[in-house]
Chain A
Amino acid sequence: MTSEVIGVGQGLVIDAEMTRGEFTLRVDLSVPPGEVLGVLGPNGSGKSTLLSAVAGLMPVSRGRILLDGQVVDDAATGEFLEAAQRPVGFVFQNYRLFPHMSVLDNVAFSPRARGGSRHEARATASHWLSRLGLAPFASRRPADLSGGQAQRVALARALAGRPALLLLDEPLSALDARTRLDVQTELRRHLSDFGGPCLLVTHDPLDALVLADRLLVLEDGRIVQDGTPAAVARRPATEYVAKLVGLNLYAGNVEGAKVRLRGGGSFVVPDHNQHGEVLVALRPSAVIVSTDQPHTSARNSWPAVVVGLTLLTDRVRIDLDGEPSALVDVTPSAVSELQLTAGSKVWLTAKATDLEVYGADVPTGPGSLPSHDR
C-alpha cells in the first residue's frame, strides 16, 4: 500500500521506527488528504509517540516521514525538520492553551509565529474564532473557559496556522459526557472541512467510530489492525479490539466444518474460505442462555458457569466461564426467570450463522523498512 505512494503522494506517509527508552514503535502507514485516521490503542501502545514523531517533537530512530511528498524526517540522511517548521496543527490532550494569553492571542500565536504581522495575526485569529463560534470569548483567559469552549479554542489555535496536517490527541477525553456529544458532532464537521490528512488519537471506541474514516489499532508498538471502522467493529483482530467493540473473540484452527478453539471447545461455523488459524467473533446478544441442555442440531451448545453479572442500562451482561468462556447479553427479566447468580450452571447456544470467521493474520502488519536505514 505504502510503496506506491512514497515520494510522489500527497498526504502523510510514515514508514519508520520511533524509540523512547526501551519502547519501540514500528509503523508503516499513509494517510491521504481529507482522511481522518483514528488511532486506537491501550495506554503505552505508542499512540502519543506516533503523534510526537509526526509533529517533530522527537526524531524517528529508523525510516522516514513524508508530508505531501516532502521528507520531514529521515533517519538515514539525518534530515529533520524542526517542529516549528512543520506545517502541522496539534490539538493536545488537555489543550495546553497558554494561560497567560487571551483566547485571541492564543489563536493569533501561530499566524504571528509563522511570520504574519501582529495585525494580520489578529485578523486571522478573529476569523477562526468566529468560524468556531468563539468570537464572544476572544478577550477571556483560558482559565475562564468551559471544557467545550477550551476544546474549540485549541482547535482554532491549531487551524489558524493553516496546517497541512492535523494531529489530535484525545481531543474529547477532558470533557464531561454531555459536552462530549455536542463537541463530537461539531468536531466531525470541522474535520471534514479540513482538507489535509488528520490523525486522531483516542482510547474511546465511540469517538473513533464517529470521527474517523479509517481506524488504526496499535498494541505494544505495533499496528495490529488497519481498516474501516465497520470492518474493525465486525472483525476485530485482537482481544483488545474485540473488547473495545464489545465482541467475544476466539482464536482457533479450522477442522472441516468446525473450528477447534485454542482455549478449549469448538464451534460449528458457516461456510468460509479460511484454512489453518482463524478468528471467530461472536456478538454477546447472539448467544442464548438456558438452564437445560437444548436439543437443536446445527447449533453450538455448551455448558458454562456464571461468574459475573453487570447491568448495562436495558440489558444484563453475563460473564461466563466455560469452553469457550463468553460474555452474553440478556434482558433483566431473563436473569430473574432463569434465576441467574454467580455460580449458576447454564447452557449457552449460538447459531452458526451468527459466527464471523476470518483469517487470523493481521490485515496490515508492520511493513518492511527501507534498506537505507541508520
Chain B
Amino acid sequence: MPVPLLAPALVSVAFLVLPLAGLIVRAPWGDLGSILQGWDASQALRLSLWTSTVATGVSLVVGVPLAWVLARTDCPGLRFLRALVTLPLVLPPVVGGVALLLAFGRNGFVGRYLDQWFGITIPFSPAAVVMAETFVAMPFLIITVEGALRSADLGFEEAASTLGAGRMTVFRRITVPLVAPSLVAGAVLCWARALGEFGATITFAGSFPGRTQTMPIAVYYALETDPDAAIVLSLVLLVVSITVLVTLRDRWLRGGSPP
C-alpha cells in the first residue's frame, strides 16, 4: 500500500475516532444516572425524537412528490428550482433560522397574517422546532430520492401503463416500491440531520426547556454550566445515532446508498 495514501488515511481515521473516544473516556460513568435525572435529559430527548420524526414525516409527504417533479418532469425553471432545493444543504443553518424568523416571525411577511387572522404564533414553539428541522433536513431526502428516481428503470413504469395502470397507480405500485431502499436511506439521513439540528432551531425556536430545547441545544447549554452533563447528553445522542445506523444498515442502507 502506498505510504502517501496510507499516512493521510490514518490521520483522518484518528481525527474522526479520537474525539469520540475522548467522549467515552471522559464520561463520568459513576454518576451517569444522577446526572441524567438532574438535567431532565429525557425531556430534551423526547422533544428531539418526536420533532425530528415529525420533520421527517413532513419531508416524506411533501418532499417525495417534489423529488418526483425534479426527476421526471421537464417544466421551465426546473434547474433553478433544484438549486433552490439544495441551498439549505450549503446554507449555514443559523442563516436558515434568521430567514425563517423573517418569514414566520410575529412580524414576518407570512407570520404577521398568521398572527392577525388566525392568532397563530409560530416562533419559539415546538412547531418552530419542527419547521427549522424540516427546512434544514428535507433537502437530504429530496436529493437522495431524486437521484434514485432518475436512475430508476422507466421500463417497469412503461410496462405498468401498458397493463392499464394510470399515472397515480404507477407511482404508488411501481415507482415508490422500486425506490424504497433510497426512500428509507433518504429518510434516515433526513431524520439524523433533523436530530442534530442546532443553528436554525435555536435561532427560530429558541431554547425553552421542555418546549423547544432539543438535545443538541441542551448539550450546548450544559457545557457552559456542567461539562459532565454535556458529556452524558452527548453520549445519549451518540447511542441513539449508532442504534439507528445499525438497525437500518443491513436492511436498507446497503442497496440504496445515497448519491
Contact = CB atoms under 8 A, between A and B. Distances in A.
A38 interface: no
Contacts of A96: 155-156, 158-159
A85 B163 CA distance: 9
7 contacts: A57-B161, A84-B164, A90-B159, A92-B155, A99-B178, A109-B160, A161-B164
Interface in A67-108: 82-86, 88-90, 92, 94, 96, 98-100
A113 B160 contact: yes
B156 A157 contact: no
A201 to B, nearest CB: 14
Interface string A150-165: 0000000110010000
Nearest to A94: B155
Interface string B62-77: 0000000000000000
The binding surface of chain B is classed by DSSP as: helix
Contact residue range for chain B?
10 to 19
B165 interface: yes
Interface string B130-162: 000000000000000000000000011011111
A255 B152 CA distance: 61
Given A98-B174, A100-B177, A100-B178, A113 B164 contact: yes
Contact of A110 (B155, B164, B177): B164
Nearest to A114: B164
Contacts of A83: 158, 161-162
A55 interface: yes
B173 interface: yes
Nearest to B159: A96
- Centre residue among A56, A86, A100, A157 by max chain B CB count within 10 A: A100
Contacts of B163: 84, 90, 109-110, 113-114, 157-158, 161
A92 B159 contact: yes
Contacts of B162: 55-57, 83-84, 86, 88-90
B30 interface: no
Interface in A184-234: none
Contacts of A57: 158, 161-162
Interface in A38-53: none
- Centre residue among B159, B161, B169, B180 by max chain A CB count within 10 A: B159
Nearest to A111: B164
A57 B163 CA distance: 12
What 4 pairs between A and B have smallest CB-CB spacing?
A110-B163, A113-B165, A90-B162, A96-B159
A88 B167 CA distance: 17
A113 B171 CA distance: 13
Given A96-B156, A109-B160, A109-B173, 14 more contacts: A57-B158, A57-B162, A84-B162, A84-B164, A84-B165, A90-B163, A94-B155, A98-B159, A99-B178, A100-B177, A109-B165, A110-B163, A110-B164, A114-B164
A114 B173 CA distance: 14
Contacts of B167: 84
Interface in A92-140: 92, 94, 96, 98-100, 109-110, 113-114
B259 interface: no
A113 B169 contact: yes
Contacts of B173: 109
A85 B174 CA distance: 18
